[in-house]
Amino acid sequence: MDWINIGRTFGLFFATAIAELLGCYLPLLWITGKGSAWLFLPAAISLIVFVWLLTLHPSASGRVYATYGAIYIATALGWLWVVDGIKPVMTDYIGVGLALLGAGVIAIGHKAG
């Protein structure tokens, strides 16, 4: 796998994570009284986009989901900081590092075997 494909895959996973987070965050705004029920419409569209983006990967779906999980964790911590205004702590960074390391083993390791 070359660097261009790795970059594209990472970008696709990042976009997928944003779609999933947004699709879950918008209903939360309504539930907590911070937004209207109309937020369900963009939330549903966002979750449809999330599912569609997951289908764009040629690898086995289980491997894609496992690798995506690490990117989701990293993106969720970014969301925590940017959207919720809570700065991650050292254990958050360590956990993300471990998840990304594991994702790398999953994504690259199967090609070596």
Q: pLDDT by residue (tens digit) across 13-40? A: 899 999 999 999 999 999 999 999 999 9
Higher pLDDT, residue 42 or 111: 42
Quick check: 107 pLDDT over 60?
yes
How many angstroms separate the CA atoms of 59 and 82, rounded? 31
Helix extents (H) in the chain: 3-31, 40-54, 61-82, 90-112
How many angstroms separate the CA atoms of 80 and 87, rounded? 7
Among residues of the chain, what percentage have pLDDT more than 70?
94
Q: What is the pLDDT of residue 110?
A: 66
CB atoms within 10 A of CB 8: 12
Average pLDDT, the chain: 90
Q: What does the domain layout of the chain look like in residue ranges? A: 3-112
Q: What is the pLDDT of residue 82?
A: 96
How many angstroms separate the CA atoms of 1 and 67, rounded? 15
The region, left, alpha or beta by phi > 0 then psi within -120 to 50, assigned to residue 85 is left
- The model's pTM is 0.82
